[in-house]
């Protein structure tokens, strides 16, 4: 990310995620954005495809930027598998270009083909991942190949043509809904009223009481739960060696992040005791060897999502930090109960 891009990104974040609305003069554009978004939603909803013979779960958000959807998706895969389901992940494959779709992610599939998140999810979960910009076509492929019996659509909340049985909306607990305005005045893709139709709201951040979470992120919902992302292991990009995250304490680290909310990653490394130098890149950045150059003895540490794009040319001092989502037992119980409920009319 150039200095200009970095400065612009930081400026927009401050303007969007503060309490005030300094971009209020752009309100006519927000109204236009809302009108277009609602028209597209109605048109897509009216033209939506017929329901699928398996439960369809959609994970997404109503704000721009990273919120923790991928770790939540991985957690859902694990929860479903432990309950006897065979989950399949559907992805648009943002940042990739396979040329031909649907694409089932395999061990040799590159992020340039499938996108970084699908490759990362396939490696971390062992779950079948099908990439297709036309998600219904990807769903039909998964069912035709008998890849599983429940579909999880990663980042598909606004893809209304895909029929769905459950919706989960994820928020960053530090940023919430920002100033509460729609793009470009604020960070919202859809108005907060959209949450009335989702089944679960997940807040990625500190463990808070339900009342505290509602006031913290500025939303009210009958099924709101906290999600904590815990640092799990350090993985060497070239050898696959694993080390404890405690090894970062007192170490000089060049933190590399091409994700939607790099500040959260940088803060995580600091809480682990690392002396961090930040290196932020645009979300889904296509890394090059020169992006990882370092003239010092510091460690290079990046996210698992970025690591899948850097393994082929990673230097010897490059590591990735894996994280694991932790959600409360009541959410797991409620979520699995809803999935079973969705499947009942399909199997009866």
- The CATH fold of domain 229-325: D-Maltodextrin-Binding Protein; domain 2 (3.40.190)
Burial status of residue 295 (CB atoms within 10 A of its CB: 0-12, 13-18, 19 or more): exposed
pLDDT at 308 over 50: yes
Q: Do the beta carbons of residue 159 and residue 61 sit within 8 Å?
A: no
* Sign of the dihedral defined by the CA atoms of residues 107, 108, 113, 117, in that order: positive
Percent of the chain with pLDDT over 70: 91
Question: What mean pLDDT is reported for the chain?
Answer: 88
CATH of domain 3-228+327-347: 3.40.50
Tell me, what's the pLDDT at 127? Answer: 96
Element holding 88 (H helix, E strand): strand 87-91
Alpha-carbon distance of 150 to 142, in angstroms, equals 10
**Residue with more model confidence, 158 or 78:** 78
DSSP 8-class letter at 221: -
Both structure tokens of 89: 């992940």
Tell me, what's the pLDDT at 1? Answer: 46
pLDDT at 209 over 60: no
Q: How many residues make up the chain in this entry?
A: 348
Alpha-carbon distance of 234 to 300, in angstroms, equals 11
Tens of pLDDT, residues 146-200: 999 999 999 888 888 899 999 999 988 888 888 889 999 989 999 988 898 999 9
For CATH 3.40.190, the residue range(s) in the chain are: 229-325
Q: 10 Å Cβ neighbour count for 328?
A: 13
Question: What band does 346 get if pLDDT is binned at 50, 70 and 90?
Answer: low
Tens of pLDDT, residues 220-271: 788 999 999 999 999 999 999 999 999 999 999 999 998 878 888 999 999 9
For CATH 3.40.50, the residue range(s) in the chain are: 3-228+327-347
Q: Do the beta carbons of residue 225 and residue 200 sit within 8 Å?
A: yes
Q: Do the beta carbons of residue 248 and residue 269 sit within 8 Å?
A: yes
């Amino acid at each position: 990310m150039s200095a200009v891009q970095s400065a612009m990104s930081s400026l927009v974040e401050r303007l969007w995620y503060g309490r005030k609305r300094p971009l209020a003069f752009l309100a006519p554009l927000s109204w236009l954005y809302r009108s277009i978004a609602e028209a597209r939603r109605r048109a897509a909803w009216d033209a939506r495809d017929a329901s699928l013979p398996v439960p369809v779960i959609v994970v997404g958000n109503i704000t721009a930027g990273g919120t923790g959807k991928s770790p939540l998706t991985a957690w859902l895969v694990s929860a479903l598998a432990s309950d006897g389901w065979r989950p399949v992940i559907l992805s648009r494959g943002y940042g990739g270009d396979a040329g031909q779709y649907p694409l089932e992610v395999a061990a040799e599939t590159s992020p340039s083909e499938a996108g970084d998140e699908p490759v990362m999810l396939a490696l971390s979960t062992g779950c079948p991942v099908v990439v297709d910009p036309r998600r219904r076509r990807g769903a039909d492929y998964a069912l035709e190949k008998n890849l599983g019996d429940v579909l999880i659509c990663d980042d598909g909340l606004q893809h209304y043509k895909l029929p769905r049985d459950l919706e989960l909306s994820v928020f960053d607990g530090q940023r919430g809904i920002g100033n509460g305005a729609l793009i470009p005045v604020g960070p919202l893709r859809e108005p907060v009223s959209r949450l009335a139709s989702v089944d679960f709201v997940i807040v990625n951040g500190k463990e808070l009481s339900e009342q505290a979470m509602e006031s913290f992120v500025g939303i009210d919902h009958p099924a709101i739960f906290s999600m904590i992302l815990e640092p799990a292991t350090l993985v060497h990009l070239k050898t696959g060696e694993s080390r404890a995250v405690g090894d970062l304490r007192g170490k000089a680290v060049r933190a590399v992040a091409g994700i939607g909310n790099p500040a959260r990653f940088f803060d995580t490394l600091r809480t682990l005791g690392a002396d961090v130098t930040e290196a932020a890149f645009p979300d889904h950045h296509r890394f090059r060897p020169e992006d990882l150059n370092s003239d010092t003895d510091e460690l290079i540490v990046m996210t698992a999502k970025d690591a899948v794009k850097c393994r082929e040319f990673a230097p010897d001092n490059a590591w990735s930090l894996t994280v694991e989502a932790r959600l409360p037992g009541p959410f797991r119980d409620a979520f699995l109960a809803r999935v079973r409920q969705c499947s009942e009319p399909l199997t009866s």
